[in-house]
């Protein structure tokens, strides 16, 4: 099992589980998202932020982190076909829009994701 990761933002120590998911949702900030994204080798663009904020809003509204299928369906109802396509989402989050996107968004791993720690 991996060591527990910690982030430091404004002298505050932020705890995560061994896979880098925040233990407390309220600890999330855009600064932490940038640190997590850097670890994931992702340079956050406006397109990334749009999905990150969409994920956070979805979680706030429904109380769950969406899997890829649910995320695509929710995006399609709010955006055009291009922004809900698998290709678009995986171009932004190559290790998985739910897994990697939720980690950057400070959300837990979606319950129905296959056990993944890459």
Catalytic residues: 113
pLDDT tens for each residue of 15-43: 888 878 888 889 899 999 998 999 899 99
Q: Is the pLDDT of residue 114 over 60?
A: no
Banded model confidence at residue 2, pLDDT cuts 50, 70, 90: very low
How confident is the model at residue 116, as a pLDDT? 45
What is the set of domains in the chain, with CATH numbers?
Answer: 6-104 (1.10.10.370)
In the chain, the percentage of residues whose pLDDT exceeds 70 is 83
How confident is the model at residue 12, as a pLDDT? 67
Buried b (16+ CB within 10 A) or exposed e, 54-92: bbbebbeeeeebbbbebbbebbeeeeeeebbeeebbeeb
65 contacts: CB under 8 Å, gap ≥ 6:
55, 58, 59, 98, 102, 107, 108, 109, 110, 111
């Amino acid at each position: 099992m991996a060591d527990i990761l910690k982030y430091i933002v404004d002298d505050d120590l932020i705890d995560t589980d061994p896979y880098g998911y925040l233990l407390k949702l309220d600890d999330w900030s855009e600064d932490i998202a940038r640190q997590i994204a850097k670890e994931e080798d992702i340079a956050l663009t406006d397109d990334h932020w749009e999905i990150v904020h969409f994920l956070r809003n979805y979680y706030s509204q429904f109380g769950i982190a969406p899997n890829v299928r649910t995320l695509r369906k929710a995006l399609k109802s709010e955006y055009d076909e291009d922004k809900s396509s698998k290709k678009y989402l995986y171009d932004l989050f190559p290790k998985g829009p739910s897994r990697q996107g939720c980690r950057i968004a400070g959300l837990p791993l979606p319950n129905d994701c296959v056990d993944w720690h890459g």
